[in-house]
């Protein structure tokens, strides 16, 4: 029987991902089978999880997914010795209005699965107050159980002692304390960490993190704090219709944001996925009946995309008779032009009139509930879709017909409607699940 544990914190940037990777690799070095999951709409962390464990990591999301879907997804860890669910933001951070089975908070997943929470606390600039924060998180919501704490970035032995004493007085276990250690910092960019596949030395970095954490954290005590768990037998899989039978899927450093649960749902429905690389000037498979361009970092590769003449011309020919859909970055590439952060304008495929700019940056972030005003691959008009939007691009022009009426999690109308023209459609939100 597997044991489950949620890794969370009071806020973002405290060290959840680093600790998750380090624990996973350290236990793997000791012969344990480790499975990771990610709470919330994050494309980047699961790839790091896979690098640390050798097993695919999947997102679970209480705002967008039914409880049965979440139970089904985590059941892939039933054969593991230890299952780690890494949280997003702070433990109780979610949206104001409840979604399908929660607000998207990590605490929803902890309570739903009955897994205790290992808190990462950064006591920089404080001492005993760190214990008050931990105690507040422990007592905030009945049904969410605290396993204990790992301190991160402690300044000195004296600092550590002060915090440990206060936590002991509050009845909170401390499994370890990590001094500052620059060698295990993960590089970042505007949408989060630099992707695992772009870091040639990621294996060595995770190994160093595992060595460092094993030196300062009681791994056996952490393991004992996890809850025994077995999956629910009647859980249902993700509810996502494949956009076609044979799906040409753009996959490379510019088009990497694809949820594993979406690919699983497509394959489970009998669809075949045919990956190709626009950055390598590859073209959609001629036998495909639909082409899907996911999000990623086209703004970092706009020059190469603009110079990939074979890809651009073949996609235009493909779209004359078959459906093409783009999400976020993929949507931008379907447009007329993309202006990069340096103000250089790059010609895109021109299948839509959309023009976007990263020179005029503005963050767009949040859950999205879309009602389709026109069909898109896999879905008819009036279908309701749940997704998430996160990008910094500014729309300069969006002349085509809107694809959907889009609301945020509070019900407010969102201006980023997506658009469609002929066989081509695109959205700024990334699809997570159908809304049924």
Whole-model pTM? 0.93
Banded model confidence at residue 201, pLDDT cuts 50, 70, 90: confident
pLDDT recorded at residue 184:
54
Instruction: Please state, in angstroms and rounded to a whole number, the distance separating the CA atoms of residues 239 and 261.
Output: 10
The pLDDT of residue 242 is above 50 = yes
Whether residue 166 contacts residue 127, with contact meaning beta carbons closer than 8 Å, is answered with yes
- pLDDT above 70 covers a percentage of the chain that reads 95
Chain-centre distance for alpha carbon 158 = 37
pLDDT recorded at residue 43:
87
Whether residue 328 contacts residue 257, with contact meaning beta carbons closer than 8 Å, is answered with yes
Whether residue 131 contacts residue 123, with contact meaning beta carbons closer than 8 Å, is answered with no
The pLDDT of residue 186 is above 60 = no
pLDDT recorded at residue 191:
46
- pLDDT above 90 covers a percentage of the chain that reads 88
Both structure tokens of 241: 């219709």
Strands (E), 51-145: 58-60, 82-86, 117-121
pLDDT recorded at residue 1:
79
Task: Kindly give, in sequence order, each residue whose CB lies less than 8 Å from that of residue 26, ignoring residues fewer than 6 positions away.
Answer: 210, 211, 213, 214, 219
- The pLDDT mean for the chain works out to 93
Average pLDDT over residues 183-195: 50
pLDDT recorded at residue 52:
95
Instruction: Please state, in angstroms and rounded to a whole number, the distance separating the CA atoms of residues 133 and 129.
Output: 6
* 3-state SS record for the chain: CEEEEEEECCCCCCCHHHHHHHHHHHHHHCCCCEEEEEECCCCHHHHHHHHHHCCCCEEECCCCCCHHHHHHHHHHHCCCCEEEEECCCCCCCCCCCCCCCCCCCHHHHHHHHCCCEEEEECCCCCCCHHHHHHHHHHHHCCCCCEEEEEEEEECCHHHHHHHHHHHHHCCCCEEEEEECCHHHCCCEECCEECCHHHCCCHHHHHHHHHHHHHHHECHHHHHHHCEEECCCCCCCCCCCCCCCCEEEEECECCECECCHHHHHHHHHCCCEEEEECCCCCCCCCCCCCEEEECECCHHHCHHHHHHCHHHHHHHHHHCCCCEEEEECHHHHHHCCEEECCCCCEEECCCCCCCEEECCCCCCEEEEEEEEECCCECCECCCCEEEEEEEECCEEEECCCEECEEEECCCCCEECCCCEEECCEEEECCEEEEECC
pLDDT recorded at residue 34:
98
Tokens 């440990």 identify what position?
164
The pLDDT of residue 188 is above 60 = no
Tokens 């680093």 identify what position?
18
pLDDT recorded at residue 235:
61
pLDDT recorded at residue 190:
45
Banded model confidence at residue 97, pLDDT cuts 50, 70, 90: very high
Which stretch of 192-201, 340-349, 387-396 has the lowest confidence by average pLDDT? 192-201
Banded model confidence at residue 361, pLDDT cuts 50, 70, 90: confident
Q: Which helix (H) or strand (E) holds 36?
A: strand 34-39
Question: CA torsion angle for 180, 190, 42, 117 (degrees, to 10)?
Answer: 30
Banded model confidence at residue 128, pLDDT cuts 50, 70, 90: very high
pLDDT recorded at residue 370:
98
Banded model confidence at residue 197, pLDDT cuts 50, 70, 90: low
pLDDT recorded at residue 199:
54
pLDDT, tens digit (0-9, with 9 covering 90-100), for 254-309: 999 999 999 999 999 999 999 999 999 999 999 999 999 999 999 999 999 999 99
Banded model confidence at residue 200, pLDDT cuts 50, 70, 90: low
Average pLDDT over residues 85-97: 97
Vertex 273, ends 267 and 279: CA angle to 5°?
145
pLDDT, tens digit (0-9, with 9 covering 90-100), for 146-168: 999 999 999 999 999 999 999 99
Identify how many contiguous H helices and E strands the chain contains and give both numbers. Answer: 12, 26
Show the domains of the chain with their CATH numbers. 3-228 (3.40.50.300), 246-434 (3.40.50.880)
Average pLDDT over residues 402-420: 97
Both structure tokens of 422: 């002929």
Average pLDDT over residues 30-52: 94
Which stretch of 16-20, 230-234, 336-340 has the lowest confidence by average pLDDT? 230-234
The pLDDT of residue 192 is above 50 = no
* Residues involved in catalysis: 328
Average pLDDT over residues 23-49: 95
pLDDT recorded at residue 233:
66
Average pLDDT over residues 382-396: 94
């Amino acid at each position: 029987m597997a044991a489950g544990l949620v890794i969370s914190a009071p806020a973002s940037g405290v060290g959840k991902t680093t600790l998750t990777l380090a624990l996973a690799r350290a236990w793997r070095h000791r012969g344990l089978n480790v499975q990771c999951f990610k709470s919330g709409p994050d494309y980047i962390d699961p790839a790091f999880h896979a690098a640390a464990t050798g097993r695919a990591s999947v997102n679970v999301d209480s705002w967008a997914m039914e409880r049965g879907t979440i139970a089904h997804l985590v059941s892939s860890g039933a054969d593991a010795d230890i299952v780690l669910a890494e949280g997003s933001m702070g433990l109780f951070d979610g949206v104001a209005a409840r979604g399908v089975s929660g607000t998207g908070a990590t605490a929803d997943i902890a309570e739903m699965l009955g897994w205790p929470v290992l808190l990462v606390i950064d006591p920089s600039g404080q001492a005993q107050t760190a214990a008050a924060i931990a105690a507040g998180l422990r007592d905030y919501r009945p049904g969410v159980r605290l396993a204990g704490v790992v301190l991160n970035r402690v300044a000195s032995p004296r600092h550590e002692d002060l915090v440990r004493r206060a936590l002991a007085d509050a009845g909170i276990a401390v499994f370890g304390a990590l001094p500052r250690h620059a060698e295990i910092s993960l590089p970042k960019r505007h949408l989060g960490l630099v992707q695992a596949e772009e870091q040639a030395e990621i294996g060595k970095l995770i190994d160093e993190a595992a060595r460092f954490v094993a030196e300062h954290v009681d791994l056996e005590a952490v393991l004992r704090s996890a809850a025994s768990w077995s999956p629910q037998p009647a859980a249902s899989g993700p509810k996502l219709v494949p956009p076609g039978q044979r799906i040409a899927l753009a996959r490379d450093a510019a088009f990497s944001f694809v949820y594993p649960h979406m690919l699983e749902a497509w394959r489970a429905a009998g669809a075949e996925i045919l990956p190709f690389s626009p950055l390598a000037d590859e073209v959609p498979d001629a036998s495909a009946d639909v082409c899907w361009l996911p999000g990623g970092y086209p703004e970092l590769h706009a020059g190469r995309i603009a110079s990939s003449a074979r890809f651009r011309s073949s996609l235009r020919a493909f779209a004359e008779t078959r459906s093409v859909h783009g999400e976020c970055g993929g949507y931008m590439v379907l447009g007329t032009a993309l202006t990069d952060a340096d103000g250089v304008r790059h010609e895109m495929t021109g299948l839509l009139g959309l023009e976007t700019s990263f020179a005029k940056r503005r963050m767009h972030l949040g859950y999205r509930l879309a009602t389709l005003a026109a069909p898109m691959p896999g879905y008819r008009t009036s279908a309701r879709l749940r997704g998430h939007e996160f990008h910094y691009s500014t729309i300069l022009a969006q002349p085509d017909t809107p694809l959907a009426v889009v609301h945020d999690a509070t019900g407010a109308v969102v201006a980023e409607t997506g658009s469609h023209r002929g066989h081509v459609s695109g959205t700024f939100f990334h699809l997570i699940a159908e809304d049924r």
